[in-house]
Amino acid sequence: MNPCRSAILGAVLALLWCPEPRAAADQVPPVRASLICEQNAVVPGQTFTVALRLRMAPGYHTYWRNAGTIGLPTSIRWTLPAGFKAGPIQWPRPQIHHMADYRVWGYQNESLLLVDITPPPDLPLGHPTKLIADASWMACKNLCHPGFRQLVLTLPVAERRSLHPARNTQFDRVRRQQPVALPEWQLSCVRNGANYRLSIVSARPIPQADIRSGAIEFFGFDRQISSALPQTIRRLPNGWELTLRQEEFTPERTDRLTGILVSERGWKTEEPQRPLLVDIPIETSSATDR
């Protein structure tokens, strides 16, 4: 790695972990964390969904599953009763935020990180069950604050359950933001040096409207693609080509491109918020970069 770039990254990471004066930090917590469930009881053998809810103070952001060039993603470590199983985090669609001079991937205001939990079918009725989540996060504004809290949610065990309507609406909003692979969109990626050209081609005719920068954004699952360097887009006969840049601060290179594509227009008319899932091989080109 270039020594100058190493120094820059070191300075930025130091900034991330530098706390504000305690008196100022104590006035308004950067994040308020809680554990919520969309139903009022656990039914033996039936999967239910809980959420880590993070409410950020004005101007603060937390991070997506891949924070980008700098930052740390939120994590959850579960302690569950015997026989219970927790699934992976279902992340809301991320947005682009800024930390220092870097674009990063995360959330402002509020985020709900959903997790499906399955209890055993022989769970006895009439006894409350306790779910424990050790949650950690990084919240950033001008400076950054690491956060940690152990959260406990106690629910009764019953033969039936009912949904909290408002929470069910919130949870469904996040579910509709989970990425999906769509056969009508054909994806391919070619790497040429530090550039990755991601082609997004439709199997059906699409409008010839101009596509402005930022109308489509790629968010990578790993640190192969930079969040800080701009993504450029150009029109293809029946789609687009997105140029991505190699992350400067990591040697990470894999033979697959994985992540999501977010479009302002949406990839499915009936679900405009749902991202397009990307999991494709990366071809290598020896052609001169244009």
Residue-wise pLDDT for 223-265, tens only, equals 999 999 999 998 888 889 999 999 987 766 789 999 999 998 8
Smallest CA-to-CA distance from 241 within 188, 192, 278 is with 188
Q: Which of 175, 200, 228 is a domain's end point?
A: 175
Question: Are residues 118 and 211 both part of a single domain?
Answer: no
Has residue 28 got a pLDDT over 90?
Answer: no
Is 167 among the domain residues? yes
Is 10 among the domain residues? no
The residue ranges of DSSP E strands in 38-90, in sequence order, are 48-56, 61-68, 75-79, 85-86
Question: Are residues 83 and 210 both part of a single domain?
Answer: no
Name the pLDDT band for 126 (thresholds 50, 70, 90): confident
Q: Would you state the structure tokens that stand for residue 224, as one six-digit string?
A: 């192969």
Question: Are residues 138 and 189 both part of a single domain?
Answer: no
- Residue 120: CATH number of its domain: 2.60.40.1250
Question: Are residues 33 and 142 both part of a single domain?
Answer: yes
Question: Are residues 49 and 134 both part of a single domain?
Answer: yes
Q: 3-state DSSP call for residue 235?
A: strand
Domain count, the chain: 2
CB contact at 8 A, 146 and 160: no
Phi, psi of 168 (to 5 degrees): -60, -40
Is 13 among the domain residues? no
- pTM for the full predicted model: 0.87
Q: What is the pLDDT of residues 166-218, one digit of tens each?
A: 999 999 999 999 999 999 999 999 999 999 999 999 888 776 554 454 589 99
Task: Tell me 190's DSSP state.
Answer: E
Q: Which of 175, 206, 230 is a domain's end point?
A: 175
Question: Are residues 228 and 274 both part of a single domain?
Answer: yes
Mean pLDDT calculated for residue range 25-37:
86
Smallest CA-to-CA distance from 262 within 209, 219, 210, 202 is with 219
Is 22 among the domain residues? no
Which residue shows structure tokens 């990425």? 179
Task: Tell me 169's DSSP state.
Answer: H
Q: Which of 129, 146, 175 is a domain's end point?
A: 175
Q: What is the pLDDT of residues 82-118, one digit of tens each?
A: 999 999 999 999 999 999 889 999 999 999 999 999 9
- pLDDT for residue 235: 87
Is 108 among the domain residues? yes
Question: Are residues 128 and 233 both part of a single domain?
Answer: no
Question: Are residues 48 and 154 both part of a single domain?
Answer: yes
- pLDDT for residue 232: 93
Domain encompassing residue 279: 185-284
Is 236 among the domain residues? yes
Is 224 among the domain residues? yes
What is the distance between the alpha carbons of residues 59 and 55, in angstroms, rounded to a whole number? 11
Question: Are residues 99 and 158 both part of a single domain?
Answer: yes
**Mean pLDDT rounded to a whole number for the chain:** 88
Instruction: Give per-residue burial for 189-217: e unless 16+ CB within 10 Å, then b.
Output: bebbeeebbbebbbeeeeeeeebeeeebb
Q: Would you state the structure tokens that stand for residue 280, as one six-digit string?
A: 């494709």
Is 23 among the domain residues? no
- pLDDT for residue 254: 84
Phi, psi of 225 (to 5 degrees): -105, 135
Mean pLDDT calculated for residue range 48-56:
98
Question: Are residues 73 and 98 both part of a single domain?
Answer: yes
What is the distance between the alpha carbons of residues 248 and 191, in angstroms, rounded to a whole number? 15
> For the CA atoms of the chain, what is the radius of gyration?
21
